[in-house]
Amino acid sequence: MSSDISVEIKGVSKSYSVVKALDNISLSVKKGEMFGLIGPDGAGKSTLFRILTTLILPDSGVATIEGLDVRRDYKSIRRIIGYMPGRFSLYGDLTVDENLSFFASVFNVKVADNYPLIENIFKDIAPFGNRRASRLSGGMKQKLALSCALIHKPSVLFLDEPTTGVDPVSRKEFWQMLERLKTNGITIVVSTSYMDEALLCDRIALIKEGRVLSSNSPRGVIDSYQNKLLAIWGEDMHSLLKELRSYDRIKSVYSFGQEHHIAVDKNLYNTSYIDSLAQKLQQKGVRDFNIKEIAPTIEDCYMEFSANND
């Protein structure tokens, strides 16, 4: 393994009965980078995290953390990683301070030893040190869980959908905390189903049904988009969608917030394409709509790569 690689995954597969959760996954994460695993629920993100944190074994393939094999060196790996699972996993009946002290004792360290690492994270919940963890708000639980995952100063931090169900302000604060952690040289691997969070990572992997669709920097993923993309919106969105799906010069169309996004083959696109499409819709009786060319987002890229891999 290269000396600048922190996490390396080669041909990892995992099945649960007849369900293939991971299908020949291969990825690498560089030391000190923020790497995002991006995909919807059921994509295989949590299964991959459980393998990398030595909680379950892969059916096949090899995975290493800082050069240590997840099968053979699991005890050593557990001493150098931090893991924040998707669901709140701390002890609800223990107070904030008791949870932090307990996790410090598990790794045979004192809270004071590594407190500077978590000080900016923990300061907001420090006033509630005597409150039971189960009585904290969602954002406070998130900060406590992150503090406990960091108390032994891990080399690699695994965060499985840490912002799911958290309010937008807390989401923003959490990513700001991660950016500060990077300055300490910690490798951060984070999974999320929020496509906008992909832009906050150094590199990402788009994953669907246990397969990697694309892996690159967020900009690199967007630049690899192969189609022309249009946005269309109007008063009767249902009729718009129905007519667009009957037009054979459109590769795909899907709802995207208040718009429909239309993917058009670059070879079929020209300066008169939008006028031609508008005319066809008007002939079908569709009125009061607008069309414009737009730049793709990570989500648009995910939709394209997903369709190409079906």
pLDDT in tens, 104-148: 999 999 998 889 999 989 988 999 999 999 999 888 888 999 999
Mean pLDDT of 236-262: 90
Cα–Cα distance for residue pair 306/211, rounded to 1 Å: 10
Domain ranges of the chain: 5-222, 225-309
Task: Give the whole-angstrom CA distance, residue 272 versus residue 263.
Answer: 16
The whole-model pTM stands at 0.91
pLDDT in tens, 160-208: 999 887 788 888 888 998 998 988 899 999 999 888 899 999 999 999 9
* β-sheet with 156-160: strand ranges across: 81-84, 156-160, 187-192, 34-38, 203-208, 211-216
Pairing relationship of beta strands 203-208 and 34-38 according to DSSP bridges: parallel
What are the DSSP calls for 55-89, one per residue? SS--SEEEEEETTEETTT-HHHHHHHEEEE-SS--
Decide if pLDDT at 310 tops 70.
no
Mean pLDDT over all residues of the chain?
Answer: 92
pLDDT at 139: 84
User: What CATH number is given for 225-309 in this structure?
Assistant: 3.30.70.2070
Q: Which fold has domain 5-222?
A: Rossmann fold (3.40.50)
Tokens at residue 152, please? 């032994």
How many whole angstroms separate alpha carbon 156 and alpha carbon 182?
A: 11
Distances (CA, A) of 275 to 47, 85, 270, 290, 293: 47, 50, 10, 11, 12
pLDDT of residue 89: 81
